[in-house]
Amino acid sequence: MPVKSPLLLTAFLLAATLVPPVATRALEAAGQVLPAVQVSEAANREMQRRVPVSGSLAARQEVVIHPKVNGYAVTELLADSGDRVEAGQVLARLQDQTLRAQLAQAEAEHERASAGIKQAESQIASAAAALTEASATLERTRRLRASGSTAQAALDQAVAAQATAQANADSARDGLSVARAALAQADAARVIARLNLDYARITSPIGGVVIERNVNLGELSGSATLPMFRVIADGEVELAAEVIESAIPELRIGAPVTLEVSGIGRLEGRIRLLPAAVDPATRLGTMRVALDPDERLRPGLFASGWIVTQSVEAVAVPTSAVLTGEGGDYVQVVRDGQVETRPVRAGLIWDGHRQITEGLAEGETVLTRAGAFFRTGDRVQVIAPGEGEAAP
C-alpha cells in the first residue's frame, strides 16, 4: 500500500542510500520506485596500451669546434648562430703573419736539408773514388814488394792510405744517413708549419647548422674554455626522451612515436635508439626518437608524447563499470532490471574504457558506475543517459 507520510518516505529513501538491498525490498513493499541507475553496453572497440615519454630535443650528432693553434687574434668571423654551413666552409680566420713566417723558415730549413743530402752524396762519391785508388795502389805495392822492387816502408804507407780511404768512405755513408735524418726532420717541421697556417682558417668538418658561436673579433684563440662554434651535423634534431623502466621491454626500434613539441605542436617520430641504461635514482631510461627534418626544431625544446605498444579490437566497458575486490575484477551486469555481480578478467585501459578479456560478452549491459553496495539479485530502474539519478 502506498506510503502517504512524507517522513516515512524520507526514511525509505535514506535506507536506500545506506542499506540498498534491504531498502530495495522495503521500497518495493511500500510501492515506491527502484534505485535509478545508468547502464552501458559492452561493445567491441579499439583498445591501446600507450607508454608516455617526455624529454628535450637534442642534436643527433653535435660537433664542437676548438682552435688548433692558440694565442692568435681572431681577425674575421664568417658564420653565426643559425647559419647553415657546408663541410670545409671557413667560419673564422686568425691572424697569420707569424704562422706564415714560421712556414717560410721551415721551407728554408727544408731546402738546406735537401742540399745537405746532395753534399753527402758527393762526399760518398769522392770517398769511394779515393778508396778505389788507394786499394789499387796497395795492390801494386804488394806485388812490387813481393818481387823486391820496393821497400817495406812503401808498402806500409800504401796500407795506411788504403785504411784512411776506407774510413773516409764509411764516414761519408754515415754523413748521408745524418743528412737524410735532417731532411726528414725538416720535412716534418714544414708539414707542421703548413698545418698551423691552415689552422688559422677555422673550418667546419661537417655540413650542418651552427647553433652556437662563442668567439668575438680580437679574442685570442684558445683563451676560452668554450668551443668557438657548435654545429649540428646535417641539422638533424631528435628527442632525448625519458621512459619508465617497466616499459622498456615493450619498446622496439622503429616504433612510431606521437609527440607534442612546445611551440610547434604535434609531430610524428620513430624510436632510433633504446635506453642503454636506467638511472638508479629516477628509474628512467633515455632513448632517442628520430624526427623528420623541420626548420622549427631547436635543441632544448620540451616535448612529450606516447608510444603505442599494443592495439587490439576487444570487448570493453567504461572504466567506472569495473570494480576490484579481494577476488579480482568484477562488473555488475543488469538483465531484466536485476543486478548480477559477475567476476571478469580485465585488461587494457584506454580512452575511458577497460578491456574485458573474459567473463563478459559483447552486447551485455552493465552498470556504468558499479557500486559495492549492490548485490546479486537487487532490482534497479534503468534510466537513459542524461536523465536524473532519481525517477521523476
Residues 386 and 126: their CA atoms lie apart, in Å, by: 118
| Residue-averaged pLDDT of the chain | 85
**pLDDT given at position 26:** 52
Residues 241, 287 contacting (CB under 8 angstroms): yes
Give Cβ neighbours of residue 246 (< 8 Å, ≥ 6 apart). Answer: none
**pLDDT given at position 13:** 40
For residue 379, report the phi and psi dihedrals to the nearest 5 degrees. Answer: -105, 145
User: From the CB of residue 372, how many other CB atoms can be counted at a distance below 10 Å?
Assistant: 10
Distances (CA, A) of 184 to 43, 106, 117, 176, 187: 85, 12, 11, 12, 5
**pLDDT given at position 9:** 40
Supply the CATH classification number for the domain 51-60+234-311: 2.40.30.170
Distances (CA, A) of 283 to 53, 154, 279, 288: 13, 99, 5, 17
Q: N- to C-terminal Cα distance for the chain?
A: 20
- SS3 label, residue 368: coil
**pLDDT given at position 6:** 45
Half-sphere exposure of 108 (CA within 13 A, CB side): 6
* Crossing angle of the two packed helices 6-18 and 20-30, in degrees rounded to 10: 150
* Under-50 pLDDT residues of the chain: 1-20, 23, 27, 388-392
Residues belonging to the chain: 392
**pLDDT given at position 14:** 41
**pLDDT given at position 384:** 67
Q: Which of 311, 323, 328, 336 is nearest to 374 (CA)?
A: 323
Kindly give the residue spans of alpha helices, DSSP state H, lying in the chain. Answer: 6-18, 20-30, 97-147, 152-199
Residues 355 and 180: their CA atoms lie apart, in Å, by: 84
Distances (CA, A) of 203 to 66, 99, 225, 319: 10, 17, 18, 60
Q: What is the pTM of this model?
A: 0.62
